[in-house]
Structure formats: C-alpha cells, structure tokens
Structure 1
C-alpha cells in the first residue's frame, strides 16, 4: 500500500489510492514503447485542450471588443432621445414668428424645464453652490477673489453654473471667492 493515509469512511479516497497503485504497477511492468505512446497520447490531449482554450479566449476577446464598439457607438442614444422633445419645442416656437413676447417667454421656460429634465434623467447635474459655501477646487473655478463680509475661501457669487455627469465634472462652476482678511 502507498504512503498516503486513507480514511475508511472515504470510499473515493480509497478508490483514488487504488488507482494510483495500479497505475504505478502498470507503468513499471509496461515497456518503454507503451509508456511513450501513453505520454504522446496525453500530450496530444493536452495540446488539443490548450488550443481549444486559446481559441475560446480569442473568441471572448473579439466578442468583448465588438460589444465595446457598439456601446461606444450607441452610448448617446438615450441622451439624444431625451433631447428630441426639446428640439420639438424649439421648432414649434420658431414656427410661430407672430407670437407675443409673453407667450414666447412662457415657451422658453417650458423648454428649459424639458431640457433640465432630460439632463437629470441622463445623470447630468447642476453644480450651483450657495453663497457662503466652501470653495471646492474640484467643482468650482475661481474667477476672482473679492473682499467680502463672510468667511475667507467661500463662494460670494456664481457667475456660471457648472455641470457634472455621474459625479465627474463636465464644467466647473465659475465663482467669485471671498478674500482672506
């Protein structure tokens, strides 16, 4: 019997030990030609398995490249679809050149709401810091530093809103910042 410990309650362990013992006996009694044929058969089997695995990896790589290409190509599809109602509203406004200023202004406000909704649905959010908010160089761009009656390094006024998409800044908010005292 070999040196491996066998567990009497593990029939699989006993079977594998018996198979190993039998394999060792056959290897010792078989001639070198038979052993060489066995090794060559095993090599051919492993070579075939290797080639199949390599082909599978190549197929997966090719499919993932195709999927990424399609994802890039159609990434803006939902965003463009959300903007179509905004375009429709603008075209309707242009089609009414005789409209009163109040009516046009009301339409502009409605169109702005549509645009804001489309941006929000696509995770494009405003960066509009409140007055006296702490200046954040990751989201704000200081245009000027002015003396003010508030804590130094805080936002005095927003000159232009900024925007972010999925927590990544597209455009920082342009702000004036309070000067150190």
Structure 2
C-alpha cells in the first residue's frame, strides 16, 4: 500500500508539473502572437507603406508637372514686361504719322519724347547701352573692332563708335562697333 501511495504521489506530482508547464505555455502563447497574427500585421504594415509610397509618387509627379508648366509659361511670357513697355512707344510713333501737316519742330519734339519712352523701357528691362568714349581701352567682350586707324592716342583704344552695343543684365546682346587706334 505504501508503494501504491508513493506511486500515486509521484503520478500526482508528474500531472501537476505537466499542468504547470501547460499553463506556462498557455500564458506565453497568449502573450506572444501566433505566426498567423504576425503575418497579418506585417501584411497590413506593408499595405500601408505601399499606399504611402504611391501617394508620395503621385505628389512628386504632380510637382514635376506643375514645374514644367511654370517653365513653359515663363518661356512663353518672358518678354511680356518688355512688350508692355514698348506699346507706348509704338503709340507715339503712330500718332506722329497721323499728323496732317507736321512741322519740323513738332516732329523733332515727338521723336525726342518717343526716344525717352524707349530709353525708359530699356532701363526698366535692364537693357543697357554700351557706348565707349574715345580713349577707352578696347574690351573684346563688349566691343567689336571694325578697323584700326592711326591716332595720337594709345594703341588698342577706342577712336570712334560706329554703332552702340547693348547688354541685357550681364549678357552681351550686341557688341559696340568701334574703330581703334593702331
């Protein structure tokens, strides 16, 4: 009987130890998500990131398209302010031609006023005149020598200006045509 009691005690201990282990595994399983739950969470995260990526890509495409449209508009309307400044000059010239019997003085006065309007339009749009003075050193970046003439001034200096040059901002539009001293 004692042997039976010992065996029964051992069986009870084994069962209780197995139950304890099972309980611990159940607690761990409840605390730790299953592989299916982990997979579902990862798929949801991947789907969310994919959606964010597609939205960001669409936004980048929209920004690129808008920038291209802005550049196209800038090219198309780049001379708009200059054109607006030239319209009054054209109006003045047309008015001068409408006069039935213009006098030399009225024509001269009209041409002077038109020249002032044109000069103002040039200044507003950063169109700068290149008009070197005699004796100024020849600048091949702004002047074009047409001929060399004997002169009493230093060599490679401007003797006379045949045609004024022009620059837009810092870019040469047309060089000044000059004669230079030998």
Coarse TM-score class (shorter-chain normalised): 0.7 to 0.9
**Moved runs in structure 1, 4+ residues, more than 6 A?**
none
- CA distance in 2 between partners of 1:35 and 1:131 (Å): 87
- CA distance in 2 between partners of 1:87 and 1:106 (Å): 16
- CA distance in 2 between partners of 1:77 and 1:115 (Å): 15
1:168 to 161, 166, 171: 171
The number of residues matched between the two structures is 154
Match of 1:109 in 2: 112
- CA distance in 2 between partners of 1:178 and 1:36 (Å): 88
SS at match of 1:75: coil
SS at match of 2:144: strand
Offset of 1:112 from its aligned partner?
Answer: 0.9
2:132 to 129, 148, 157: 129
Point out where structure 1 has 5 or more consecutive residues left out of the alignment: 1-24
Offset of 1:127 from its aligned partner?
Answer: 0.7
Point out where structure 2 has 5 or more consecutive residues left out of the alignment: 1-27
Alignment of 1:49-68 (within 5 A): 49-68=52-71
Q: Which one has a bigger Cα radius of gyration? A: 2
- CA distance in 2 between partners of 1:140 and 1:31 (Å): 84
- Cα RMSD (Å) of the superposition? 2.0
As a proportion of its length, which structure holds more helix?
A: 2
